[in-house]
Structures are given as structure tokens and as C-alpha cells.
Structure 1
């Protein structure tokens, strides 16, 4: 579409921006904007608006949306303060679990993007470093990799299902009291509390219980091998 000879196609119209020099663009600047907006809210249009440019200007640097999100995944993971790898395998596994939980909580929507863009170079380096440390602490090559893989998969699954969890909580809270009680009638002592905590309780303690059960399994395996 043209007005008085000017091209006003949507992709070429400059959004209003504050006065001052135009902001230079780079893949790193675009990735930073994604992290600032948040993975769950970031889109090419939203990032362009954040940077004060037309969204078509971004494609020179990102290729497509996946390229933009991959750069943001790398930026977020490379700039996060991961814990020092020291101590025995159990301490490292607990510290790394807490760090990944903090990271995913800090970056809503991050986990969902991994299915599309995969692990960033920084993520691959970190997981390799942790696995090598676990191996140096006495875990087998297989167990050192599987231990971290299980921790990350469990955390990612919890954060990936956060919206589903919110819907379940709302459905439970909206049930008539008698109907809700009917689902739990006749259950053994203690089971009711566990089920309620699993459904609507704080997910962090539930995850820690899973992790402790997993660690107990590793300790048992090591004891059988005589290396605990």
C-alpha cells in the first residue's frame, strides 16, 4: 500500500520510538531483549517493539524465530551463576538441582523453547562438566550422565506442566466439598495428605522428595559395588 508515493507496508513502518540515535542491532542485543521480555512472552514483534525497530530488521541477524530463541537460550545459560563443582557427588547433584530450579523459575517459558531449539553450547558444556565431576566422584560413566539427565528431565517436566498444574488446582478448588471428600474416602492414613500435597502443594518439596529417593537408589547401587 502506498500513500503519497510512500511505501507503508506493515513490515516497513517504523514504530514510534523515543528521540535519539538509532539503536544498533546485533544477535546479542536481540537475545538480550528476549531475555528481558521473557521466553514465554517473546515474539519477533515484541522484540522489535522493545528495540524500537521494524520486525523485518531482525531477520538479518536471527534467520527465523528459532534462531532468535536459540541465541536467547545461549545468553541466559551462559550468564547464569552456576554453582562451583566441589564436594562429593551427592552435594554436587543437590546444588545443581537447586540451580536448575532457580534458573527455570527465573526464566518462565525457557523449558518450552528447548523442544524447538535444543540445548545451547553453554548448556552442553555445563552438563558435560557436571557429569565428568560426578564420574570423578565414583559414579560410573553411565550413572554420572543418567543422574544429571534425570534431574534435568524432572525439573523441566515440572516447569513445563506449570499451567496444567494451575488448571488442576482451580478444578479441585471449585469442587463441592462433599464431592472432593468422596474421592479420598477410604484411603489409608497419610495417603490423603500425600495426594493433596502432590496436586496442590509447593512443587519444590515434592521434587526434593523425588531427588532424595533417586539419591538413595544411587547410594544403594554404589554400596553393592563397594564404592559408596
Structure 2
């Protein structure tokens, strides 16, 4: 016999972007029909796995510093996506689990207690979480941690920049080199640079005065 907790843990370990009912059943040593006693299908299995990942992730406690709170929240989501490949790809594709929605609502409520208006709290969190998920999705696909038919590898993308045209050599070459450096940089380091810009925008447009 297996438990729902064992099924969810196995799904998370195998990677939510590629799991099937059969692969999870094989990992647990049971017939895949057994899983249907606990989940309705693959989509249900994926949502349960994402919920487990959220539960295992330590999110920041609210304080008076909204920038630190949003930055730490972004890092918590980044770490979750990095620890469990496939979650960013699933979330980017619109797979939202009950725990994800509950966690989002809780984080938004924390921002309203920091004097954000409800609308601005939703917009600020949407901006930050969208940035994390899109960045992690592209990183996990470029690095081959999640299969993708369309996303090139880092090496392929770095070598695919356009040829330098005569008369435009210096500016184009400098731009290409900067782009290649961005591709080759640590995903976390490049993300942190983007996050600082996003937080500056929130401070300018949304944060309470």
C-alpha cells in the first residue's frame, strides 16, 4: 500500500514537468491504477506536487520593510523553482495549485498591511512573481533540467547572435559580447539584477509614500 503523501513526494522527486502516472507508480513499485485511488490524473498529481513544494519552502515573515519582504519572497520562490525543476515551467503554463493561490493571497495581504492599496499589492506581487517564474522557466529549459522542443541551450543561444555588419563593427560587437555574458552569467546573479530594477519601479510607482 502507498499513501497520498508518498505519491506526492515521488512526483516531486521525479520532476513535475515530466512525470506520468506510470513513472510515479514505477518509482513506488505499484500498479499505476493504484494511484487513481488518490488522484484523478496527471494534472491533479502535478498540483499536489506543487502544493508540497510550497509547504516545504520557507517564506519570509512580514515586517516594516516592504522591499526586503518582496526581495526575500522572490528569493524563496526562486529557491523553490531551483530545487524542484519543472515547477516554474508548470506555473508559467498556467498550472496553479490551491496552495499557490493561498500563498499568493497571504503575501498580498502582507503588503496591504504595509500600507499598499489592495490593487497595488496585487500588481507588485504579480510583477515580482512573474519575473521569478519566467526567469526560472527559461533557465531550467536552457540548462536542460526540463526538456523543451523550442528553447535552445545556453551554448546554442550564445552562438546564435547575428553577424557583425560592416560599418557597425564596434557597437554591434560590444552588444553581442554583453549579450553573451548575460547568457553565460549565473541565473541567480542575472535575476538579482533584474529584481533590483523591478523593486525600484515598484518604489517609484506603487509603494506607499
2:164 to 159, 173, 182: 182
- 93-102 or 122-131, which deviates more: 122-131
Q: Is the alpha carbon distance of 1:104 and 1:146 closer, same or farther for their aligned partners in structure 2, counting shifts above 3 Å?
A: same
- Provide the residue aligned with 1:25 in structure 2: 2
| TM-score, scaled to structure 1 | 0.75
- 147-156 or 94-103, which deviates more: 147-156
- 165-174 or 100-109, which deviates more: 165-174
1:170 is aligned to 2:152: no
- 68-77 or 99-108, which deviates more: 68-77
1:212 is paired with a residue whose SS is: helix
Q: Is the alpha carbon distance of 1:190 and 1:97 closer, same or farther for their aligned partners in structure 2, counting shifts above 3 Å?
A: farther
Deviation at 1:116, TM superposition (A): 6.3
- Provide the residue aligned with 1:67 in structure 2: 44
| TM-score, scaled to structure 2 | 0.81
Deviation readout 1:182-226 (Å, 9 max, x if unpaired): 378321897555422322222222222222112222222368xxx
2:63 is paired with a residue whose SS is: coil
- Provide the residue aligned with 1:209 in structure 2: 193
Q: Is the alpha carbon distance of 1:96 and 1:173 closer, same or farther for their aligned partners in structure 2, counting shifts above 3 Å?
A: closer
Gaps of at least 5 residues in structure 1 are 1-23
8 Å CA contact 2:81–2:87 kept in 1: the answer is yes
Q: Is the alpha carbon distance of 1:53 and 1:84 closer, same or farther for their aligned partners in structure 2, counting shifts above 3 Å?
A: same
Across the aligned residues of Structure 1 and Structure 2, the Cα RMSD in angstroms comes to: 2.8
- Provide the residue aligned with 2:135 in structure 1: 158
- Provide the residue aligned with 1:56 in structure 2: 33
Task: Write the distance in 1 (CA, Å) between the matches of 2:79 and 2:203.
Answer: 26
Task: Write the distance in 2 (CA, Å) between the matches of 1:124 and 1:72.
Answer: 14
Deviation at 1:163, TM superposition (A): 5.4
Task: Write the distance in 1 (CA, Å) between the matches of 2:56 and 2:156.
Answer: 39
1:199 to 175, 180, 183: 183
The total of aligned residue pairs comes to 199
Q: Is the alpha carbon distance of 1:161 and 1:172 closer, same or farther for their aligned partners in structure 2, counting shifts above 3 Å?
A: closer
1:119 is paired with a residue whose SS is: coil
Deviation at 1:138, TM superposition (A): 2.5
Deviation at 1:34, TM superposition (A): 0.7
Moved over 4 A (4+): 172-175, 188-193
Task: Write the distance in 2 (CA, Å) between the matches of 1:65 and 1:36.
Answer: 15
Task: Write the distance in 1 (CA, Å) between the matches of 2:164 and 2:98.
Answer: 51
Question: Could you say which structure has the greater relative contact order, defined with CA pairs below 8 angstroms and 6 or more residues apart?
Answer: 2
1:34 is aligned to 2:11: yes
Deviation at 1:107, TM superposition (A): 0.5
Task: Write the distance in 2 (CA, Å) between the matches of 1:79 and 1:172.
Answer: 34
